């Protein structure tokens, strides 16, 4: 029972979320637009925490589905940010060659 309470408690702790300008935003705001505002490091940290807890069987069956969906969203967010950054770097390097 204590394990489930601990897992539930960590699910409600706010994580650092920033807009594109680095301004802090509330992590309790709901909606798809907020997903795009979380910074890469925070997303990766949350994803690693979810994976560790899954590997250690710390989620009950009800939490597992929710956390798996969250992990999928975080993976997409990280992939998108990496793709965008890669494109920006290539663009900058191409400008230097000119």
pTM: 0.60
- C-beta of residue 17 within 8 angstroms of C-beta of residue 45: no
pLDDT digits (tens, 9 = 90+) for 2-52: 444 444 434 433 344 444 444 443 333 344 444 458 899 999 999 999 999
The half-sphere exposure of 49 on its side-chain side, counting CA atoms within 13 A, is 14
Tens digits of residue pLDDT in 73-92: 999 999 999 999 999 999 99
Rounded to whole angstroms, the Cα distance separating 94 from 98 reads 7
Q: What are the boundaries of each domain within the chain?
A: 2-97
What does the block give as tokens for 18? 């920033």
């Amino acid at each position: 029972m204590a394990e489930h309470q601990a897992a539930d408690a960590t699910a409600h702790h706010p994580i650092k979320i920033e807009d594109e300008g680095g301004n802090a935003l509330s992590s309790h705001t709901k909606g798809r637009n907020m997903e795009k505002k979380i910074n890469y490091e925070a997303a990766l940290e949350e994803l690693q925490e979810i994976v560790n807890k899954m590997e250690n069987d710390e989620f009950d069956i009800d939490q597992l589905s929710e956390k798996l969906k969250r992990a999928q969203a975080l993976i997409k967010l990280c992939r998108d940010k990496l793709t965008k950054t890669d494109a920006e770097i290539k663009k900058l390097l191409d400008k230097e060659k000119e």
